[in-house]
Amino acid sequence: MHRRKKILSTVIIALVSLIISCGQQADQNEILIGEYSSLTGTTATYGLSTHRGLMMAVDETNNAGGILGKKIKLLTEDTQSKPEEAATAVTKLISRDRVVGVIGEVSSSRSLAAAPICQANKIPMITNASTNPEVTKKGDYIFRVCFIDPFQGEIMAKFTFNSLGLKRAAILKDIKNDYSIGLAQFFEESFKSLGGEIVATQAYSEGDADFKAQLTALKAANPEAVIVPGYYTEAALIVKQARELNMNMPFVGGDGWDSGKLIEIGGESMNNSYFSTAFSSDDPDPVVQNFAQKYHQLYGEKPDALAALGYDAGLIMFDAIKRAGVTESSKLRDAIAATKNFRGVTGLITIDQHRNALKPIVILAVENGKLVYKETVQP
């Protein structure tokens, strides 16, 4: 008993001292930027993509001599795909590490937990991929570089209704995912106001692999198009299984589809499907090609939209620091807010008065197992 108590108390003391000692000391020659990202847990695959994109942005900027004569130091915290972890991580980054800006998260639920903390401490936060409109409403220090759900939902509805000329759509959404629900809702509103009809709605949960029951039910409603506002992880399997069930109508998705994995997993089945995105690694633009090649060299795979958004979030933050000339928070905030026509890999980005990104949206189609450019819609 005595020995065990001793061991236990040693462990406790060791833990406490570890916590006290592991804080980062700010170096005069460094600018500290905090990142919180889901590196483990259910959405690790998306968090890892944005993290890699951001690391590339940091390395490139540092290799080019840094900003304001200083190097950027990125402090990354894992959120385990949990909102309360995001809140703790951001509190730590701000209060202990004293970062000048915060970047993250893929999921709106985590950004919603972290944004009030950044706002209260007046530290600018740029979210890379949180599409829920609520996130930037948390305060004037919160920005985003991705689309918001209403905008993308509307574009998807217009494309389906006008460009494809289809009036009867069915929706298959991810009930556990806020992004998917938001996109589905705004698609439905826009589509109905255009005069279209939603003939059936079905749902799945992230992590599912079998969608045949939902698809069979949708098939019975005889839709002309199926909208799958979700991530490529499930979308590829959904379209694949739909084709196996002889459902040959077009499938339409959002920027969550944008990954090389979509066609890798979906294969030939993905033909006759469309998605909206801000980024395509096949875009011939030199900025994009340069990014895509470097990314491929570093990580051995094509960048997806999330990697591109992570990269852009970093560059916009660094660009703002450069323009502000100082890292003082209110000046940095103003500089981010003044971002105009910034050439990122996800297009020309302008931050509007609601601190959301205005940028063109691109519709891509899959034809013969390849992505084909369809049209661009200006904001």
Partner 1 sequence: MNQLLQQIINGISLGSIYALIALGYTMIYGILRFINFAHGDVFMIGAFVGFYSAPHISKLVGGSIIFSGILVMLLAMLICSLLGVTIEKFAYKPLRSRPKLTVLITAIGVSLFLEYGGQLIFGPDPKLFPTIVPSMAVVDTQNLVIGSNSIVAIVTAAILMLILRFIVFNTKMGAAMRAVSYNHQAAALMGININSIISFTFVLGSSLAAAAAILYSSVYPSINPLMGIFPGLKAFIAAVLGGIGNIYGAALGGLIIGLTETFVTGYLSPTYRDAISFGILILILLFKPSGIMGKFEAEKV
Partner 2 sequence: MKCHLPKLYLLLSLILCGIILIFEKNISPYYYQVIVYIGINIILASSLNIINGFAGQFSLGHAGFMAAGAYTSAVITSSMHISPGSLASYPAFLFSLICAGIIASLFGLMVGIPSLRLKGDYLAITTLGFGEIIRVIIQNLDFLGAARGFTGIAKLSDFFWVFGIISILIFLVYNLINSTYGKGFLAVRDDEIAASAVGIDVTRYKVIAFVFGAFFAGIAGGLYAHFVTYINPSQFGFLRSFEIVVMVVVGGMGNIIGVIISAAILTILPEALRSIAQYRMVIYALLLVIIMLLREGEFLGGRFNIKRLWKKSPAET
Residues 6 or more apart in contact with residue 160 via CB below 8 angstroms: 166, 169, 191, 196, 225, 227, 250, 252
Residues 46-75 that bind partner 1 (CB under 8 A): 48-49
Among partner 2, partner 1, none, what binds residue 147 when CB lies within 5 to 8 Å by partner kind? Answer: none
Q: What is the DSSP letter of 246?
A: T
By a kind-dependent CB cut-off of 5 to 8 A, residue 64 interacts, out of partner 1, partner 2, none, with none
Minimum distance between the CB of residue 240 and partner 1, rounded to whole angstroms? 8
Q: Provide CB contacts within 8 A for 288, sequence distance 6+.
A: 279, 280, 281, 345
User: Which spans of this chain sit near partner 2 (rule: CB under 8 A)?
Assistant: 1-2, 4-5, 8-9, 11-12, 15-16, 18-19, 22, 39-41, 76-78, 80, 82-84, 87-89, 91-92, 94-96, 108-109, 112-113, 116, 121, 132, 134, 175-178, 181-182
- Give 173 or 355: the residue with its C-beta nearer to partner 1: 173
Question: Interface with partner 1 includes 205 (CB under 8 A)?
Answer: yes
Would you state the structure tokens that stand for residue 357, as one six-digit string? 């990104």
CB closer to partner 1 out of 141 and 275: 275
Nearest-approach distance from CB 237 to partner 1, in angstroms: 5
Give one word for 88, left, alpha or beta, with left for phi > 0 and alpha for psi -120 to 50: alpha
Tell me which residue has tokens 């661009």.
Answer: 376
Is the peptide bond between 105 and the residue preceding it cis, with omega within 30 degrees of 0? yes
Nearer to partner 2, 102 or 366 (CB): 102
Q: How far is the CB of 203 from partner 1 (least distance, A)?
A: 5
Residue 335's nearest CA partner among 349, 317, 314 is 317
Among 208, 282, 334, 375, binds partner 1 (CB under 8 A): 208
Read out DSSP for 179-202? Answer: HHHHHHHHHHHHHHHTT-EEEEEE
Choose which of 198, 217, 337, 348 interacts with partner 1 (CB under 8 A): 217
26 Cβ neighbours under 8 A, 6+ residues apart: 32, 97, 98
29 binds, among partner 1, partner 2, none (CB under 5 to 8 A by kind): none
Under rule CB under 8 A, which residues in 245-274 are in contact with partner 1? 245-246, 261, 264-265
- Contact status: 152 vs partner 1 (CB under 8 A): no
Q: How many CB atoms lie within 10 A of CB 329?
A: 17
Least separation in angstroms between CB 132 and partner 2: 7
Residue 194 makes contact with partner 1 by CB under 8 A:
no
Question: In this structure, what token pair is assigned to residue 8?
Answer: 């236990």
- Given partner 2, partner 1, none, residue 204, with its beta carbon under 5 to 8 Å by kind, binds partner 1
SS (H, E, C) 312-369: HHHHHHHHHHHHHCCCCHHHHHHHHHCCCCEEECCEEEEECCCCCEECCEEEEEEECC
Per the DSSP assignment, residues forming a β-bridge with 349 are 342
Please tell me the count of residues contacting partner 1 according to CB under 8 A. Answer: 33
Alpha-carbon torsion, ordered 319, 34, 98, 316, to 10 deg: 10
Question: Which residues of the shown chain bind partner 1 in the complex (CB under 8 A)?
Answer: 40, 42, 44-45, 48-49, 175, 202-205, 207-210, 212-214, 216-217, 219-220, 233, 236-237, 240-241, 244-246, 261, 264-265
